[in-house]
Amino acid sequence: MEQIEQLQQFTPAQRFTQFKKKFPNQKLLSQSELSPVDVYNFLSGWQGALVSFLDRVIKLQGKVKEANEIFNPNVGDQIVLPKKENPNVLEVLGEYNGFGFFPTLGKNGLNLPQQIFENFTDFKVESYQINDFKVSLVGERDIIKNDKVRFSYAVQIPLNLELLVNNQKVTFNITVDLRTNNFSTQETFNDLFNNGTAPTNWQFFSRIKVNKLHYDQTDATHLANTLLQDQFNALNLDLQKSIYDLNLDGLEERFEEEYAKPLREKRTQQKKEWEEE
């Protein structure tokens, strides 16, 4: 606990840099035993991973927009385009990364009840802020054995999103709380974080609180929290692809081949045919 308290003077990026220096490659990471400090520094890398991921989402949305600006085959902006011509990039990149990747978990990429965005077909991230990201080692006394303390790691991600949904601006500010399973001894710690079969696949319990949801001059904050019901969800997350080895260039290359390039070619051909009429 004392070592972790001392580490709090460093930024999350600095703590994760320490982790990467100690475990510079996946092979070494998979063959090593993590200490409580190692886990703390590892989880601190989530902030940087989220920033890099959301920056790439916005970049790839821009590629789709540029392609659609070559030629608009529809009259007006309310025509619903097929997914190949107007993809939800957040969702697509989550599909590419597959099971266990965070933050893209479910419809619209945030593992939220479908009712919150059930009528939204066009979902884009305009901008974002991650304020007061925090990783903590939390100790709580056992309910039955008061002399026993159970520990867990808590990750708090306050995420403020400015979205464009169905051509309407939406302010969506949430706090994502992630909590690991409890441990009280070195043995139970090792069971959770030094599992030789899947060394970077850990279970978390997530809870989302909506701080603000505004769209179309409507404040839907209370409705969103009612739908969420303050419940924890169990998530099995792969921290190798979520934090340690986030392959953004590979994701962009695949997106370019499957979405951006074909769309540019299609719009260029449509423009040519229209000009020749």
**25 pLDDT more than 80:** yes
In eight-state DSSP terms, residue 94 is H
Q: What is the pTM of this model?
A: 0.90
**230 pLDDT more than 80:** no
Share of the chain above pLDDT 90, in %: 58
Distances, alpha carbon 169 to alpha carbons 25, 126, 162, 164, 230, in Å? 42, 9, 7, 5, 26
- Mean pLDDT calculated for residue range 59-69: 95
Distances, alpha carbon 84 to alpha carbons 63, 69, 70, 97, in Å? 13, 15, 16, 18
pLDDT confidence tier of residue 256, bands split at 50, 70 and 90: very high
Q: Tell me, what amino acid is at 128?
A: Y
pLDDT confidence tier of residue 114, bands split at 50, 70 and 90: low
pLDDT digits (tens, 9 = 90+) for 70-105: 998 775 555 677 888 989 898 899 889 888 888 765
For 184, the token pair is: 């009280």
* pLDDT for the residue numbered 81: 79
* pLDDT for the residue numbered 104: 64
Give Dmax over CA atoms of the chain in angstroms.
Answer: 83
Q: Where are the domains of the chain?
A: 2-276
Question: Mean pLDDT lowest for which of 34-38, 41-45, 53-57, 140-144?
Answer: 140-144
Are the C-beta atoms of residues 15 and 41 closer than 8 Å to each other?
yes
**223 pLDDT more than 90:** no
Cα–Cα dist 212/138, whole Å:
27
End-to-end Cα spacing for the chain: 73
- Mean pLDDT calculated for residue range 106-114: 58
Minimal CA–CA distance to 164: which of 206, 122, 134, 203? 122
Cα–Cα dist 98/17, whole Å:
26
pLDDT digits (tens, 9 = 90+) for 116-167: 666 566 789 999 999 899 999 998 877 666 667 899 999 999 999 999 888 8
**Continuous segment of H or E residues that includes residue 185:** none
Q: Output the average pLDDT for the chain.
A: 88
